[in-house]
Amino acid sequence: MAGLKGFFHGRLWPLAVGMALAGVVALLFGPLAFGAVLAVAVGAAIFLGLSAPETASESALQESPPALSPLARAVIGQLPAPVMLLDESERVILINDSMRTLVGWGVENKHVSAVLRNPAVLTAIDQTSHDGEPATVQFSLPVPIERHYQAYVARVNAAPPITALLLHDLTAIRRSEQMRADFVANASHELRTPLAAVSGFIDTLRGHAKDDEAARGKFLDIMSVEAARMRRLIDDLLSLTRIEMNEHVPPQNRIQLDHVVREAAAALSPLARGDHITVEISTPAHLPPVVGDRDELIQLFQNLIHNAIKYGREDGHVWISCGQTPEGQIFATIKDDGEGIASSAVPRLTERFYRVDVKRSREKGGTGLGLAIVKHIVSRHQGRLQIESRLGEGSSFTVLLPPAPTESGGKSELAPAVTEML
């Protein structure tokens, strides 16, 4: 009986307090099961994980920093949501891997103000550290990719006390709300013109042109073109929405960029031959891989190569080259010999629905979303897009991506370039 009583006083009361903390967190996070499970795990891990010799005096416990058992550190370390533990002077005791992706390495023992720069979060931590009352705030991290979080701060009344910071990622929810609004606004704006054209031709065919075979054939051809344009527009809008929804989620697969570029070019080779465009590809024999999403990268390069074919000069060339910069970045450049783009228009090329020449773009079947899609794919892959163009000298689009990490950490030596004509 005494042993059971001792176990209850020594172990079960922390679990009970941890469960109570879990209930508060779950209420604040809402009815999501994820929030409840997260709260239980953190509460139980913190309270059950505080270890100190049973023979130590209360004054000694208050003077020494809190120690977490290996089990508690393992539990907190594997949680999918970012967690940070602070001592009573607001210095970092422990962060898990999810939090480390946000704040970086080497933050242990630093004051929280040197790790997190958001004033609302720091105010909430300071308030909870002093009065013990839990606090919840929402904040955003604008770079490198905009993320939205709900921060929950609670004080664990141990000896000495610990302040726990939990972050709940709201990015997908916020993006979903914004995507719905953008899709409705963009679709209603861009579809208005082709819908009006189709409706006008239908009214004409029902009216005075219903018996005019020549006019009927002409109008049906135009209606088919406008319907195809609406279909491309909706496809591109849906594609852009999907890419933006996942922009904050980094890809995981190792991809050979030169293979992706060749596959994208091969898919467009019939279009190039139809326009009498020669596509020349030059890549090293062995190029270090990148971390990426294969389907998105193929879409990215198909958009760039398609643009080069569409807006290059008749019977012209498109040059595609891959390689590695002296800084180690893996690049792919698509260059055409078209009319070029005015320098004032270059900064706006990746805006939604921006077209340098609206009439020509529509005649070529463009939706004005191709480069916006490219921009967001590059952003998800933590890369850069460089655009160079001069009137009368063509345009050059370069995608730079970080190489996939290697075991040795060194740079790979590139073999001589291999050139291929399509």
**In CATH, which superfamily holds the domain spanning 250-422?**
Histidine kinase-like ATPase, C-terminal domain (3.30.565.10)
Both structure tokens of 192: 């208005």
Q: pLDDT of 67-106, one tens digit each?
A: 667 777 777 877 888 898 998 888 998 888 888 888 888 8
Where are the extended beta strands (E) located within 269-311? 278-284, 290-292
**Interval 340-363 mean pLDDT:** 80
Q: What sign results for the dihedral spanned by CA atoms 374, 283, 264, 395?
A: positive
Whether 250-422 and 2-169 are alike in CATH topology: the answer is no
CATH no. of 2-169: 3.30.450.20
State which CATH number among 3.40.50.9100, 1.10.287.130, 2.60.40.10, 3.40.50.720 fits the domain covering 175-248. Answer: 1.10.287.130
Instruction: Give the H/E segment covering residue 153.
Output: strand 147-156
363: Cβ–Cβ under 8 A, 6 or more apart, which residues? none
Beta strand pairing call for 253-255 and 278-284: unpaired
In this predicted structure, which of 55-59, 70-74, 242-246 has the lowest mean pLDDT? Answer: 55-59
pTM above 0.75, yes or no: no
Both structure tokens of 189: 């704006």
Q: pLDDT of 280-293, one tens digit each?
A: 999 888 899 999 99
Query: Can you give the length of the chain in residues?
Result: 422
Q: Which tops the pLDDT comparison, 41 or 24? A: 41
In this predicted structure, which of 12-21, 105-114, 139-148, 208-217 has the lowest mean pLDDT? Answer: 12-21
Q: In the chain, what are the domain boundaries?
A: 2-169, 175-248, 250-422
